[in-house]
Amino acid sequence: MAKRKSDPELFLPLTPAMFHILLALADRERHGYHIMQEVDERTEGKVRLGPGTLYGSIKRMLANGMVEETDERPDPDMDDERRRYYRLTDFGYRVARAEAERLAGLVKTARSKKLLSKA
């Protein structure tokens, strides 16, 4: 198990939902609805996670040690304490980074094949 956790490459490629969740948690801890909102805003409504996809992915990421629950509330006065907040673990950060590098490699290949114009 320790070996599995130490190697982010074993979890690649991530599902789009998992990668979006990791991206949403990259800068701060969020609860389920905040994650959905962040993904929705960032992708301009192109990706919308349903509750089943969201919590199914969170369940798997908790089991794999990519995210963890946190008791900290960004703004306790403004929030419902029944909500569960999640944050990225170090391992989750490494997995997200490995996936981003993999995708960047694909983009580089697409550019070299003239499928994409250079930014």
Partner 1 sequence: MTANNSKLPEKRVHPLSLRLYWFLLLAYPLSFRREYAPHMAQVFRDCYRAEKINRGLPGVSRLILRTLLDLMRTAPKEHLENLGKDHSVMNNLRKDALALLGCIGIIVAAFLLLSYGRRHEVSSILFFGYALDALVTAGIVGNLIVFLLVRTTRLNPLRTALWTLLIVNGVLLLVTVIIGSRVGGQFRLGSVIVGYLVSFAFWFSLHWIWAKTKSDGQVAVSGGP
Binding positions for partner 1, rule: CB under 8 A: 31-34, 36-37, 40-41, 45, 48, 50-56, 58-59, 78-79, 82-84
CA distance 43 to 77: 29
Residue 24 or 36 with smaller CB distance to partner 1: 36
Residue 91 CB, shortest distance to partner 1, in Å, is 21
Residue 5 or 32 with smaller CB distance to partner 1: 32
Helix (H, G, I), strand (E, B) or coil at 39: helix
Residue 113 CB, shortest distance to partner 1, in Å, is 33
Residue 58 or 98 with smaller CB distance to partner 1: 58
